[in-house]
Amino acid sequence: MHKVLFLSLSVLVLSACGNKASLQPITLSEQQQQLFEQSCKTCHANPANPAPQVGDKAAWDKRLEQGLPTLVQHAIQGFNAMPAGGLCATCTPPDFEAMITYMATAQTQK
């Protein structure tokens, strides 16, 4: 039991380091895709908005230097022009993490 707990804590600590090099593209769950469409997309898929756009690697890399946990916290608490919760009243921290990862790693077509 103690070894499992230690291993879990080690993985948690390592994942909290925010190493952007390990951020891999993901596919959102159906529920997360719906949340994304209802909230994140309003700003993050609107080039007229100063928010980092889906698939804009340069904009996201700059932010990811802070670490994914920090970006999730910004989404939850609000940051600069982003409102608390990012317009999503039902999003959980894992939802925010998935949607941020999705936006930061999405391949955009030019």
Mean pLDDT, the chain, rounded, equals 84
70 contact partners, CB below 8 Å, separation of at least 6: 18
How far apart (Å, rounded) are the C-alpha atoms in residues 38 and 65? 27
Q: How far apart are CA 53 and CA 42, in angstroms?
A: 10
Model pLDDT for residues 78-107, shown as the tens digit of each residue = 999 999 999 999 999 999 999 999 999 998
**What are the mean pLDDT values of the chain's consecutive 10-residue runs (110 residues total)?**
38 44 88 97 96 96 96 96 94 98 83
Asked if 72 contacts 100 with a C-beta cutoff of 8 angstroms, the reply is yes
What the chain holds in terms of domains, given with CATH numbers, is: 19-105 (1.10.760.10)
The reported pTM is 0.78
- The predicted pLDDT at position 107 comes to 85
Q: How far is CA 87 from CA 26, 28, 48, 59, in A?
A: 22, 18, 18, 21
pLDDT, residue 15, reads 47
